[in-house]
Amino acid sequence: MDQFSEFRPKRGSKRRRLIPQRDSIQVGWKELEGRFVRYIEHECGLSENTRDAYCRDVARFFDWLDGRFLADLTLTDFLGYLDTLRSAGLSPATCARHLVSLRSFYRWLQLEGIVKKNLTALLESPKLWQRIPSVLTVKQVDRLLSAPNPDDDRNWIRDRAILEMFYATGCRASEIASLTIGDYRPREGFCRCVGKGDKERMVPLGRGAIDACSAWLTERAEILKRTHLPPGKGESDADLPLFVTRTGRPLRREALWELVKKYTRRVGASEKISPHSLRHSFATHLLSGGADIRVVQELLGHASIQTTQRYTHVDFERMRSIHDKFHPRS
């Protein structure tokens, strides 16, 4: 029996809020981490990456807490913690995420009866400026997609397929990393993507992406034959990762970032370009070509149309041409 068993509801009973006892609250993060992770995974349905971010944020909070009682903190204390984050040079967006992590953590503490009040619910998120996404021009994308070559790159076939898939699908780096053989459906001309909250969407594939992936699958088969890595227990070939390393292991999300950075530097693109910039470019080029914004919303997997609307403000060339054409003093 652990020290929080008196606060935990019995199996089958409804969860109830209890008044915490002071001597049961001074605990470390490691004593609570496992149960909090189960809460945000099973009850909140958060993705693995989001769970990891929340845990890092709460661990940092405990370092700042330095042994103080969780229930003794005041609103002024929480404001002071946010000021500490800002003083450390964190961006407003990162501070806002830290606050969301703390809210979830204190909501769970309150539900478990470990604290009586959730003062984090009274805190306002930092005001966030709507930043204009970094996008590549169509010519820059063409240069980027052809950057991997057999003379300079050992994995050029795979790298070109990855870049083609980024631009063809508008997927996030984590979504590309989690693609399986079963997700890739060239006969139908579609790719199944699993996004935030395990939401599925089907995205059309262009000829360039299909051709690049077909070449890669031939190379991939040779890699797996050489490394002798069979499917895991209960897995089929369809469950295996689409993109792998030279040793047949799944590619990490971080490796995809490094890959994109490598080729953007080669073509002389901005240092700000990242895998997400290809997602931004995907959406911007569709809208500038006349695609319906609702269709782009579905392709990106956005829950809100407001998230997609920011891409309507970044096509400067189109705005300039319209201004030149219709303004009487252009």
Active-site residue numbers? 172, 196, 276, 279, 302, 311
Q: How many CB atoms lie within 10 A of CB 183?
A: 19
Distance CA 203, CA 192 (A): 6
Query: Distance (Å, rounded) from C-alpha 170 to C-alpha 300?
Result: 6
| Residue 259: closest CA among 173, 170, 143 | 173
Strand order in the sheet with 184-185: 184-185, 190-194, 200-204
Residues with Cβ within 8 Å of residue 197, at least 6 apart in sequence: 45, 46, 47
- CA atoms lying within 13 Å on the CB side of residue 61: 31
Distance CA 209, CA 162 (A): 9
Nearest Cα neighbor of 186 from 159, 170, 208 is: 208
The DSSP letter of residue 317 is H
